[in-house]
Amino acid sequence: MNWKIVRVVLAFVVIGGVAVWVVNLIRPHTYAETPLSFMVEGGLVSLTNPTDEAVPAQLVAQGNRSFRVASTTEVMSGSSERMETDDGRIHLFEFDLPPGDSAFSISGSAEVNFITESEVALQAIVQPMSNEGRRTTLIAAAIAMLGALYYASHTTSHRWIGMLRGQQATEAQPESTESAAERQGAAAKAYGDNRTK
């Protein structure tokens, strides 16, 4: 078994695995159930209310950690309130989702659920990460993929670089349409012409 080939293949398997992991980690999730309920993740949540009326909605987090809602829509901005229920302590933020498109993000508690009992066909697009988190993840993935690529190149003693340089050198050389015999004949003729003068 050629272990060099095995190591190169494993390196490219790692590159492919990292690429798939990153795509699955940062791609947005779409929800369109009726009634609508989903977990709010670390990024922006975009909502669409297709009706002309506001729809009552709640953001709920279990436990003692409060959270804050940030949005360009005033009615969707604010802090959660602590409440005692039969199932324990929760933090709650209630608002009326206005018609059209709106968006918000959460800071504070890591586990916040969006809940609405309305039968209106709302649509939500949830970004799993903030812009900063997505940028950090992409940088880490790029470093891992470049490291695996360097390992594969090092395993083959970077032969592809030599092959690339050889190809570039060949392409850089101008092609001559004259044959060697024609060049020698032209040189001899020129030499004879010089002696007759």
CATH number of the domain bearing residue 114: 2.60.120
- Tell me the CB-side half-sphere exposure of residue 11, using CA atoms within 13 A: 18
For the chain, strand residue ranges (E) read 29-31, 37-40, 45-49, 55-62, 67-70, 78-79, 81-85, 88-97, 100-108, 112-115, 123-126
20 falls within a domain: no
In this prediction, residue 151 carries a pLDDT of 87
* Residue range 28-62, pLDDT digits in tens: 999 998 999 999 988 999 999 999 999 999 999 98
- Tell me the CB-side half-sphere exposure of residue 131, using CA atoms within 13 A: 1
In this prediction, residue 95 carries a pLDDT of 95
84 falls within a domain: yes
116 falls within a domain: yes
**Residue ranges of the chain whose pLDDT lies below 70:** 1, 110, 158-197
**Structural domain boundaries enclosing 100:** 28-127
179 falls within a domain: no
- Tell me the CB-side half-sphere exposure of residue 110, using CA atoms within 13 A: 1
- Tell me how far apart the alpha carbons of residues 9 and 13 are, in angstroms, rounded to a whole number: 6
Q: Over the Cα atoms of the chain, what is R_g? A: 33
The tokens describing 173, both together, are 């050389």
Number of domains comprising the chain: 1
Report the DSSP beta bridge partners of residue 61.
Answer: 91
Taking every pair of C-alpha atoms in the chain, what is the biggest distance, in angstroms?
Answer: 119
88 falls within a domain: yes
In this prediction, residue 190 carries a pLDDT of 52
74 falls within a domain: yes
66 falls within a domain: yes
In this prediction, residue 41 carries a pLDDT of 84
The tokens describing 170, both together, are 């060949």
161 falls within a domain: no
